[in-house]
Amino acid sequence: MLTGKTILVIIGGGIAAFKALDLIRRLRERGASVTPVLTPSAEHFVTPLSVSALSASKVYRDLFDLTDEAEMGHIELSRAADLIVVSPATANLMARMAAGLADDLATTLLLATDTPVMIVPAMNVRMWEHPATQRNLATLTGDGITVVGPVEGPMACGEFGPGRLAEVPDILAAIEAHFAQGPLAGRHVLVTSGPTHEPIDPVRYIANRSSGAQGTAIAAALRDLGARVTFVTGPADVAPPEGVDVRRVQTACEMLAEVEAALPADAAVMAAAVADWRVSNASGSKMKKDGTGRAPALEFAENPDILRNVCESPARPALVVGFAAETGDDKGDVVSHATAKRARKGCDWIVANDVSPATGIMGGSENAVTLITDAGADPWPRLSKTETARRLAARIAEALT
Ligand code: C5P
pLDDT in tens, 175-225: 987 887 789 987 999 999 999 999 999 999 999 999 999 999 999 999 989
Q: How far is the CA of 287 from the centre of ligand 1 (A)?
A: 30
DSSP state of 166: P
User: Is residue 258 within 6 Å of ligand 1 at its C-beta?
Assistant: no
CB-based contact 214:273 (threshold 8 Å): no
User: Is residue 305 within 6 Å of ligand 1 at its C-beta?
Assistant: yes
* pLDDT at res. 331: 58
User: Is residue 307 within 6 Å of ligand 1 at its C-beta?
Assistant: yes
Q: How far is the CA of 306 from the centre of ligand 1 (A)?
A: 7
* pLDDT at res. 181: 78
Q: Where are the domains of the chain?
A: 6-178, 188-400
CB-based contact 88:95 (threshold 8 Å): no
Query: C-alpha 226: how far from its chain's center?
Result: 15
For 25-45, give the secondary structure using H, E and C: HHHHHCCCEEEEEECHHHHHC
CA angle 94, 98, 99 (to 5 degrees): 120
Q: How far is the CA of 297 from the centre of ligand 1 (A)?
A: 26
CA–CA separation, 342 and 326 (whole Å): 13
Cis before residue 150, ω within 30 degrees of 0? yes
Q: Which CATH architecture has domain 188-400?
A: 3-Layer(aba) Sandwich (3.40)
* pLDDT at res. 361: 80
Indicate the top mutation candidate among 305, 337, 339, 342 to test ligand 1's pocket, ranked by most ligand atoms within 8 A of CB: 305
Atom of ligand 1 nearest to the CA of 303: 21
Residues 6+ apart with CB under 8 A from 254: none
Per residue in 314-333, pLDDT (tens digit) is: 999 999 999 998 887 665 68
Q: What's the CATH number for 6-178?
A: 3.40.50.1950
Q: How far is the CA of 200 from the centre of ligand 1 (A)?
A: 21
CB-based contact 191:231 (threshold 8 Å): yes
* pLDDT at res. 272: 98
User: Is residue 244 within 6 Å of ligand 1 at its C-beta?
Assistant: no
User: Is residue 324 within 6 Å of ligand 1 at its C-beta?
Assistant: yes
User: Is residue 323 within 6 Å of ligand 1 at its C-beta?
Assistant: yes
Cβ atoms < 10 Å from Cβ of 104: 18
Q: Which of 157, 253, 311, 347 is catalytic?
A: 157
Identity of the residue numbered 396: I
User: Is residue 306 within 6 Å of ligand 1 at its C-beta?
Assistant: yes
Is residue 253 part of the annotated active site? The answer reads no
DSSP state of 155: -
Identify the segments of the chain with pLDDT beneath 50. none
Nearest to 392 by CA among 259, 241, 221, 153: 221
* pLDDT at res. 138: 93
Q: How far is the CA of 237 from the centre of ligand 1 (A)?
A: 19
Domains 6-178 and 188-400 share a fold: yes
CA–CA separation, 328 and 148 (whole Å): 40
Burial of 239 (0-12, 13-18, 19+ CB in 10 A): middle
User: Is residue 303 within 6 Å of ligand 1 at its C-beta?
Assistant: yes
Q: How far is the CA of 304 from the centre of ligand 1 (A)?
A: 9
* pLDDT at res. 34: 97
Identity of the residue numbered 44: H
